[in-house]
Amino acid sequence: MTTPSIVTRFAPSPTGLLHVGGARTALFSWAYAKGRGGTFILRLEDTDQKRSSEAAAEKIIEDLRWLGLNWDNSGGVIPRQSQRLARYNEVIDELKSRRLAYDDAGAVRFRMDNLPGVAFDDAVYGHIEVGKGQLEDFVIKKADGFPTFHLAVVVDDIDMNVTHVIRGQEHLSNTAKHAALYDALGKPRPVWVHTPSIMNPDGSKMSKRDKAKVARKAALARIEIEGREAFIDRVLNVKPVPMYIQDSDAVSGNISDKIDGFIDSENDDILTAAVIALREGIRLPEINVADFRASGYLPGVLCNYLALLGWNPGNDVERFDLDFMCETFDFDRINKANSKFDREKLLAFNADTLQKMPPEEFASLLKEHQPRLATKLGDQFRGFAGMYQPRSRTLNDPAELGRFFFEAPTTYDDKAVKKNLARNDGEGLKLLGEFRDVLAGTEWNAAALQAAVEKFTADKQLKNMGSIAQPLRVALTGTAVSPPIDQTLELIGQQETLARVDRCLDKCKEN
């Protein structure tokens, strides 16, 4: 006897962005097949015509490729249920001819009342029995002519020779229906593998509504300060929202018509949440793969972390790549209990990976992630990347932490001013003015600038170089934080440095 080839599949509905729970399902399915020389199939379950969109389908495909989960579809074609209606009708007609299904108010139902019960085995949750009293006839064809999920998924899996169905535990309650359909069609059942749910740290389900909760909380806090009408007016004046934080089914309609309802919890519109987040300067929680990608996480790190949500490779191993997962993944180490998504742990994984990689690789990834940053910095980009690699937890951090390189400060942190400029009758401000003249006559490279700082410190008999470096940081960044001062000065440039110092001196004198 020959062992049949392993075939797994991932079959998302293109009704929105790829949730991390779906990404984990795809990862488990991919790893199980790849580790055994099998086949991993991608198909799209788009029978929900009202909510499905081509934009969502394209984004799901793009995110799967970004994660590195490539599929083995014959001819590279991704099957879509909307293109297989004739095949579904053929099966439905067969079931009706055998009196296993019947018409009902324009729909077609599969008959379950003739069964004594249904039992099936799950690789994670074990043997499950559903008694006759729990069985109900269910719809397999809707009145609109499209099959339901139950019928289409079974026919697809049969036609595509799927041997192992890996999916979230929310489908466990559907499996008795699917088992009955397999039996009715005289086809062998696949191995069912239901995985635990991914939850928030507080035990709530991780969903796109989490974004709305965070934004609504911020909105209500602001409304208490400035009033509802003023808040809504300001939100309406926010610049357009970046497309990457929008869900494909939330980009239509006038935002002004949704804000009132959003505040009163009448809707959880993602676009409204995104606009409020921009208005309030807050970050919405990442929920979809696109969110994590836009936030600057690495695909390998995200896959690594998702694998640990419900699966344990053993031997206290936590950090691994996709090759390791293909070699070791199996169902016996999948947990039954739900997993909690720890963003701080994922962030720590990402930071560790970024900070340990070769500088050339970091610079390349940063350039790919932030091409406009590389264009703006030109020849100085490599130096900028080198400065921020040790400080980066995500690929967004360099641009956020180093924003002052591109935008001169318009305000100055009060604490930084008091400590570094105003203290001791304005000692720091006076030193800044004197060092400004030194900078005007210094050759502009890091070595010469460092020497100038050291000489000034010695000539003025200052306690340490921070006595002048900190006032400089306030003038250049608006805060007391920056990379090494010589590198910071070199990258900002002489003309811009002098302009910022002059602006700071004038501003402080005015105040």
pLDDT tens for 316-362 read: 999 999 999 999 999 999 999 999 999 999 999 999 999 999 999 99
320 domain residue, yes or no: no
**Is the residue at 159 inside a domain?**
yes
Domain of 99, CATH number, reads: 3.40.50.620
Count: domains in the chain: 3
pTM greater than 0.85:
yes
Same domain, 164 and 253: no
230 lies in some domain: yes
Q: Flag whether 385 is in a domain.
A: no
**Pair 43, 156: CB distance under 8 Å:** yes
CA-wise closest residue to 394 among 432, 446, 338, 344: 344
SS3 447: helix
SS3 339: strand
| Final residue of a structural domain among 252, 286, 320 | 286
Say whether both 185 and 214 belong to one domain.
no
Residues 182 and 236 in one domain: no
- Shared domain for 468 and 445, answered yes or no, is yes
**pLDDT for residue 175 is more than 50:** yes
pLDDT at 255: 61
Look up the CATH number of the domain holding residue 466: 1.10.10.350
Report the distance separating Cα 8 and Cα 23, nearest Å: 14
What pLDDT shows up at residue 80? 95
DSSP string, 18-54: -BHHHHHHHHHHHHHHHTTT-EEEE-B----TTT--H
Verify that 191 and 264 share a domain, yes or no: no
What is the CB neighbour count within 10 angstroms for residue 326? 15
Any domain includes 392? no
Enclosing domain of residue 276:
209-286
In a domain, 381, yes or no: no
437, 502: one domain: yes
Q: CA-to-CA distance for 42 and 31, rounded, in angstroms?
A: 14
454 lies in the same domain as 506: yes
State whether 135 and 226 are in the same domain: no
Residues 6+ apart with CB under 8 A from 81: 43, 44, 45, 46, 47, 88, 147, 152, 156
Q: Pick from 286, 311, 343: which residue ends a domain?
A: 286
The reply to whether 151 and 230 lie within a common domain is no
Model confidence over 96-144: pLDDT tens digits? 999 999 999 999 999 999 999 999 999 999 999 999 999 999 999 999 9
Average pLDDT over residues 445-465: 95
Question: Each residue of 202-229: pLDDT tens digit?
Answer: 989 888 889 999 999 999 999 999 998 8
Q: Does residue 408 form part of some domain?
A: no
> For position 407, what pLDDT does the model report?
87
- The pLDDT of 383-408, averaged and rounded, is 92
Q: Is 251 domain-assigned? A: yes
- Within this chain, do residues 248 and 158 fall inside the same structural domain, yes or no? no
pLDDT at site 251: 38
Q: Of the candidates 195, 220, 235, which is a domain's last residue?
A: 195
Considering the domain architecture, whether residues 187 and 260 belong to the same structural domain is answered as no
Query: Residue 248 pLDDT > 70, yes or no?
Result: no
Task: Give 270's pLDDT tier (boundaries 50, 70, 90).
Answer: confident
pLDDT of residue 243: 38
Q: What is the DSSP letter of 421?
A: I
